[in-house]
Chain A
Amino acid sequence: MDFNDTADEAEYRARARDWLAANVAAHKAIDHGDDMAAARAWQARKAAAGYAQITWPKEWGGGGGTPIQSVIFGQEEARHPVQYGYFTIGLGMCIPTVMAFADDATKQRFVGPALRGEEIWSQLFSEPAGGSDVAAIRTRAVRDGDDWVVNGQKVWTSGAHYSDFGIVLVRTNPDVPKHKGLTMFWLDLRAPGVEIRPIHQMSGGSNFNEVYFTDVRIPDSQRLGAVDAGWKVALVTLMNERLAVGGGGGAGPKEILKLAREVDGADGGKLLHDPAFRQKLADWWVQAEGLRNTRMRTITALSRGQTPGPESSIGKIIAANQLQDIGNSAVEAEDQYGIIADPALAPLRGLFQSATLNAPGLRIAGGTDEILKNIIAERVLGLPGEIRTDKDAAFRDLPA
């Protein structure tokens, strides 16, 4: 066990640090207009230097580097105000699926622009009747000559409102059991018949969308994998998801420690001197550190050529629940004032109020706590699967 950089790693870190110092300064010196334009510019800058997808092969515009190098660059980049989330789903989930299943021409066409931030991708799996039960998809694709005609609705599609392309899982055969009649395609989200409606979330934001398909024509050449083999393709996408979704962002032990130094506790002293608060702070620290060190163990497994298994599910369970707990504990610690969410008035620009409102979504997105626990129980511990009445029945005979 060695948590220090090796000589090579230290050298890589020093180079990354120098590159970031010079390039963040240059990036920030330019007026990009809006946040999206700034994000695209930063992504292009990273891509040109081989830092956009460090572990991808160089022939695809990646850095040809190791998982550890990717972690090192991520650690160093996190010190700078260049955190843009627009490309995570595309580069983390969609493009790897395209790279695994598309023909060469398609890959040549799409990998580069996605890498450089010129085109953004969405993942269209979930539906009103199939959230946790993803295979319950009802969006129907019917073959018509060289095309498929698609009708139906997707939901919870992150970033669809600013995306150019997507990968979509649809039902091509309702006469077989539900996992066996799905097919995956890539599509242009501006194609005729595609309608995107942002969802207004309880947190006030609109990161997710409903996506409606009305007689949308998708050429068969845009199919990823075999007809009716979409479930296997989706598993490749989803395996990448839990690595991509990861952390909660912002309100962690360090942030609440900062608050606790400033606000008064119930006993008259600062909150940080309240023994009950200190006990909770220790537990949050233990969890956050445990998570950080667990990620490092996953990276070690990756760098030894092992595939990270479903055990990485624990990251999201802990991060989302901890965000909710810390957010609310901080809000309560602010006492009556804690109800104020206005960033101009609330401590740490309303970080904890925002965490409290966003946390419920994190506990659901990318696999609910409950589904993730099923995954751990079944795939890691080997416990029996749920009793299912739908496994062998034809999809069209299932109750809706």
Chain B
Amino acid sequence: MNFDYSDEQKMLKEEARRFLGARCDTAVVRGVLDDDDRHHDDALWRAIAAQGWLGAAIPEAYGGLGLGHVELCALAEELGRALAPVPFASTVYFVAEALMLLGSEEQKTRWLPKIAAGEVIGAFATSEGPGAVAPGRIATRVADGRLSGTKIPVTDGQIADLLVVLADDGLYLVEGPVAAEPLATLDPTRAAARIVFDSVPAERLGDEDGFAAMQAVFDRAAVLLAFEQLGGADRALEMAKDYALQRHAFGRAIGGYQAIKHKLADIYVKNEIARSNAYYGAWALGSGAAELPLAAATARVAASEAYWFAAKENIQTHGGIGFTWEADPQLHYRRSRQLALVAGAPAVWRERLVAQLERRNAA
């Protein structure tokens, strides 16, 4: 038993922090936020690809580094901390994971090396409207190898070269670029689009029923997203703490008042719970454990709650300045919404968690 990163994994994580510290300060994030025509930071994306991170968990046989999923979790934590405005999650946590989990040998050979090399941006298209994605409610259809339907929102849809699309009977690969209409979202530092597929060529991905296949991909993405959320939540706590030490009111640093101290202690407690559950999720993902669906749901609910709480209370700790466009707390507030919704909202995951508990107790 060992419940921590290994020394090598810690080194990788420190290296990633240094790299992102130099390449992805909040000015880079704001570059995307303030420019409606930019959907990601291409220079950062290329630099990340050059590091080999896109292929961290992709086997060497498919052009990756073959490090493993715990290493990918360590990178995710740093990307989340830095608010990296790049299509990393869409490409790696969703599309590459879907290919590795469900793809045929031919599909894997064709796409994974390109993903690892940074030549292909991916997008995972499931939602069709307000409310939870559920079996029997998917209108997208495939007939004679051609897919039709509307997906909204599709994260990174307008920059994707390869889309994995949920149809009523299964997941399908659709090659981009596709006509996509950019959307105004809560987090403009991440791209999102509405896509109308009108009889586009589509190739089946895996044999599983569509909803089950989507869930299997979501389970894997949920663990990786939990690490991004954890990284963001840690950073939001740091920002709140730094500000509380520096800001004086009524003759002393506001961090000396219990109202602020207890608030930050509450954030810390939630972050530690999220960290411990994320670690368990990383183990389940990396070792292929049967507990993955329950561990993933546990990690996701904890991380979504922690990041939301840290992000909103970071603004509160900053007071009026925290509500301005120029101050950085809004970046985490926005990203916490994007990450909490992208693979299904917390309420959906809580329901999924209890369903897993019922199944486990029945067995």
Mark A residues whose CB is within 8 Å of B: 1-6, 9, 68, 71, 253-254, 257, 272, 275, 278-279, 281-283, 285-287, 289-294, 296-297, 299-301, 304, 311, 314, 317-318, 370, 372-374, 376-378, 380-387
A4 CA to B277 CA, complexed, in Å: 16
Q: How far is the CB of B2 from chain A (nearest CB, A)?
A: 5
Question: Which B residues from 199 to 214 make CB contacts under 8 A with A?
Answer: none
Mark B residues whose CB is within 8 Å of A: 1-5, 70, 237, 241, 244-245, 252-253, 255-256, 258, 260-262, 264-266, 268-269, 272-277, 279-280, 282-284, 286-287, 289, 297-298, 301-302, 305, 347, 349-351, 353-354, 357-358, 361
Q: List 21 A-B contacts (CB under 8 A).
A: A1-B282, A3-B289, A4-B1, A4-B287, A278-B350, A282-B297, A282-B350, A283-B305, A285-B354, A286-B273, A289-B277, A293-B276, A297-B279, A304-B4, A311-B272, A317-B269, A374-B265, A383-B264, A384-B245, A384-B255, A387-B252
B1 adjacent to A9 (CB under 8 Å): yes
B2 adjacent to A300 (CB under 8 Å): yes
Q: How far is the CB of B228 from chain A (nearest CB, A)?
A: 17
CB-CB under 8 A from A275, the residues of chain B are: 351
Q: How far is the CB of B111 from chain A (nearest CB, A)?
A: 29
CB-CB under 8 A from A314, the residues of chain B are: 268-269, 272-273
CB-CB under 8 A from B265, the residues of chain A are: 372-374, 376-377, 381
Partner among A2, A378, A387 whose Cβ is within 8 Å of the Cβ of B261: A378
Q: How far is the CB of A303 from chain B (nearest CB, A)?
A: 8
A383 adjacent to B261 (CB under 8 Å): yes
Describe A's contact surface by its main secondary structure. Answer: helix
Residue with the greatest number of chain B CB neighbours at <10 A, chosen from A2, A293, A311, A378: A293
Residue of B nearest to A282 (CB): B350
A1 adjacent to B2 (CB under 8 Å): yes
Q: How far is the CB of A257 from chain B (nearest CB, A)?
A: 6
Describe B's contact surface by its main secondary structure. Answer: helix
CB-CB under 8 A from A374, the residues of chain B are: 258, 261-262, 265
Question: Given A1-B282, A373-B266, A381-B268, A285 and B353 touching (CB < 8 A)?
Answer: yes
A370 CA to B287 CA, complexed, in Å: 40
Question: Given A293-B280, A383-B255, A68 and B1 touching (CB < 8 A)?
Answer: yes
Partner among B1, B245, B279, B297 whose Cβ is within 8 Å of the Cβ of A5: B1
Residue of A nearest to B237 (CB): A381
Residue of B nearest to A372 (CB): B265
B253 adjacent to A282 (CB under 8 Å): no
B3 adjacent to A299 (CB under 8 Å): yes
B273 adjacent to A384 (CB under 8 Å): no
CB-CB under 8 A from B2, the residues of chain A are: 1-2, 300
Closest 9 pairs (CB-CB, A-B)? A290-B273, A282-B350, A293-B276, A377-B261, A384-B256, A373-B265, A376-B265, A383-B255, A296-B3
Q: How far is the CB of B73 from chain A (nearest CB, A)?
A: 9
A279 CA to B351 CA, complexed, in Å: 6
A1 adjacent to B276 (CB under 8 Å): no
15 additional A-B pairs beyond A4-B287, A314-B272, beta carbons within 8 Å, are: A1-B3, A1-B279, A3-B1, A3-B280, A71-B1, A282-B350, A285-B353, A286-B273, A290-B272, A297-B279, A300-B1, A372-B265, A377-B262, A378-B261, A383-B260
A286 CA to B298 CA, complexed, in Å: 5
Partner among A5, A281, A296, A378 whose Cβ is within 8 Å of the Cβ of B354: A281
CB-CB under 8 A from A253, the residues of chain B are: 357
A377 CA to B302 CA, complexed, in Å: 21
Q: How far is the CB of A248 from chain B (nearest CB, A)?
A: 15
A373 adjacent to B261 (CB under 8 Å): yes
